[in-house]
Amino acid sequence: MASVNKAILIGNLGRDPELRYTQGGQAVANFSIATTERYSSRDGERQERTEWHNIVTWGKTAENCAQYLSKGSSCYVEGRLQTREWEDKEGNKRRTTEVVAQVVQFIGGRRGAGSGPSPVETTAPSAAGDAPPPPSDVPF
C-alpha cells in the first residue's frame, strides 16, 4: 500500500532563521512558523488558535532562507514530517517532530527591501535528486 508524508503550511516566522553548517560543509537552517486558525465558538465568540511548527531546510534553500527571511516574514513551506530523538545534557530522552522543507516560497518582501510583495521560491533537491525545477516566473 502506498503512503504519503507531506506537510503544506503558510505562516509567519516566529524568529530569525538560524543558519549552521555541518562538519561536511552542508548548510542547515532552522526556524519556526506560526499558523493561526480563526473560528467562532458555540456562543458566537470569535476565537483564535495558533500552532507553532519547527522547520528545517538544507543546502541552498537553507542559505536563501537565512538571507531573505526574518522574524515576522510570511512564507509557504512544503515538505515532509520527520521525528528525531536525542538525549539532553541531563540524560533525558527528548523527541521533536519537524517539517523538513523541500519547497519554501517567500511571500513578503526581502529583508531591508522596500514595501510590497516580492515572492521568491527555493526548492531543495530531494534525496533522490529528482526535485522539480522552479517555476519559470521566479525572479532569479
Tell me: the pLDDT tens digits for 61-80? 999 999 999 999 999 999 99
Average pLDDT, the chain: 84
Q: Do the beta carbons of residue 118 and residue 110 sit within 8 Å? A: yes
- Pick 101 or 112 by higher pLDDT: 101
Q: Rounded CA gap, 87 and 82, in Å?
A: 17
Could you count the other beta carbons within 10 Å of the beta carbon of residue 133? Answer: 7
Under a CB-based contact definition with an 8 Å cutoff, are residues 99 and 53 in contact?
yes
Q: What is the pLDDT of residue 103?
A: 95
What kind of architecture, by CATH, is found in domain 7-40+47-123?
A: Beta Barrel (2.40)
Average pLDDT over residues 115-136: 47
Length of the chain: 140
According to the model, what pLDDT value does residue 90 have? 94
pTM of the model: 0.74
Question: CA–CA separation, 61 vs 54, rounded Å?
Answer: 16
Q: Which of 134, 120, 102, 125 is nearest to 8 (CA)?
A: 102
> DSSP letters of the chain?
------EEEEEEESS--EEEE-TTS-EEEEEEEEEEEEEE-TTS-EEEEEEEEEEEEEHHHHHHHHHH--TT-EEEEEEEEEEEEEE-TTS-EEEEEEEEEEEEEE-SPPTT--SS---EEEEPPPTTS-PPPPPTT---
CA 2 to mean position of chain CA atoms? 25
Residue 89 has pLDDT above 50, yes or no: yes
Q: Is the pLDDT of residue 35 over 70?
A: yes
* pLDDT for the residue numbered 135: 44
- The domain ranges of the chain are 7-40+47-123
